[in-house]
Structure 1
Amino acid sequence: MRVVFAGTPDPAVPSLRALAASRHEVVGVVTRRDAPLGRKRVLTPSPVAAAAGELGLPVIKTDRLDADATAAISALEPDLGVIVAYGGLVREPLLSAPAHGWINLHFSLLPRWRGAAPVQHALIAGDRVTGAAVFQLVPELDAGDVFDELRSEVPAGATAGDLLATLAADGASLVTRVVDGIAAGTARAVAQAGEPTLAPKLTIADGALDFREPAVRVLDRFRGTTPEPGAHASLGGQRLKVLAATAGPDADLPPGRLALLDRSVVAGTGEGTIELLTVQPAGKGAMPAADWWRGLRQEPQLDLPGDDR
Structure 2
Amino acid sequence: MKIAFAGTPEFAAQALRALIEAGHEVVLVLTQPDRPAGRGMKLTPSPVKVVALEHGIAVDQPEKLRTEEQQAALRAAAPEVLVVAAYGIILPQAVLDIPTHGCLNIHASLLPRWRGAAPIHRAIEAGDAETGITIMQMDAGLDTGDMLLKRAMPIRADATTASLHDALAALGGEMIVEALAALPDGLTRTPQPEEGVTYAHKIDKAESRIDWRRPAIELDRAVRAFNPFPGAVAELGGTTLKLWAAAPCDRQGAPGEVLQADAEGLVIACGEGALKITTAQKPGKKRQPVGDVLQGLELVPGMVCDLP
Do both proteins adopt the same fold according to a TM-score greater than 0.5, normalized to the shorter chain? yes
* Alignment RMSD (CA, Å): 1.7
Residue 205 of structure 1 corresponds to 206
Q: Which residue of 2 aligns with 1:303?
A: 306
Deviations along 1:203-259, one digit per CA (max 9) or x if unpaired, are 1111122221221111111111111122111236643211222234x3333221222
1:173 aligns with 2:174: yes
Between 1:143-152 and 1:60-69, the stretch displaced more is 60-69
Q: Give the aligned partner of residue 243 of structure 1.
A: 244
**2:231 aligned with 1:230:** yes
Structure 1: runs of 5+ lacking an equivalent: none
Unaligned segments of structure 2, at least 5 residues: none
User: Distance between the aligned counterparts of 1:128 and 1:66, measured in 2?
Assistant: 39
Partner of 1:123: 124
Query: Retained in 2: the 8 A contact 1:239–1:281?
Result: yes
Q: Does 1:12 align with 2:12?
A: yes
The residue aligned with 2:51 is 51
- SS for the counterpart of 2:148 is strand
Alignment-derived partner of residue 35 in structure 1: 35
Q: Distance in 2 between matches of 1:203 and 1:177?
A: 35
Write the distance in 2 (CA, Å) between the matches of 1:197 and 1:252.
34
Question: Judging changes above 3 Å, is the alpha-carbon distance between structure 1 residues 157 and 298 closer, same or farther for their aligned structure 2 residues?
Answer: closer
Percent identity for Structure 1 against Structure 2: 38
Q: Matched residues in 2 for 1:122 and 1:206: separation?
A: 15
Deviates more, 1:154-163 or 1:269-278: 269-278
Offset, 1:56: 1.9
How far residue 190 of structure 1 moved from its aligned partner, in angstroms, is 0.3
Q: Is the 8 A contact 2:116 2:200 kept in 1?
A: yes
Match of 1:136 in 2: 137
Q: Does the residue aligned with 1:294 lie in a helix, a strand or coil?
A: coil
Instruction: Return the letter of the residue paired with 1:302.
Output: C
Distance across 1 between alignment mates of 2:58 and 2:143: 27
Take 2:110 and 2:270, find their aligned partners in 1: how far apart are those partners? 31
Note if contact 1:117-1:199 (Cα within 8 Å) is conserved in structure 2.
yes
**Cα gap change, 1:262 to 1:235, in 2 (>3 Å):** closer
| Count of aligned pairs between the two proteins | 303
Instruction: Tell me the distance in 2 between the aligned counterparts of 1:94 and 1:245.
Output: 45
Greater shift after overlay, 169-178 or 262-271? 262-271
Instruction: Describe how 1:153-192 pairs up with structure 2 within 5 A.
Output: 153-183=154-184, 185-192=185-192
For residues 116-148 of structure 1, what are the alpha-carbon distances to aligned partners after superposition, in whole Å with 9 as ceiling and x for unaligned? Answer: 001111111111111110101111100000000
Any conservation in 2 of the 1:70–1:94 contact (CA below 8 Å)? Answer: yes
Equivalent residue of 1:93, what SS? helix
In the other structure, the counterpart of 2:292 is 291
**Distance in 1 of aligned mates of 2:192 and 2:93:** 22
Name the aligned partner's letter for residue 161 of structure 2: A
Secondary structure of the corresponding residue to residue 75 of structure 1: helix
Does the 8 Å CA contact 2:262/2:294 hold for their aligned counterparts?
no
Which secondary structure state, in structure 2, belongs to the residue aligned with residue 239 of structure 1? strand
Q: Contact 2:235–2:241 (CA<8 Å) still a contact in 1?
A: yes
- Residue 11 of structure 1: how far off its partner (Å): 0.6
Aligned-partner SS, 2:183: helix
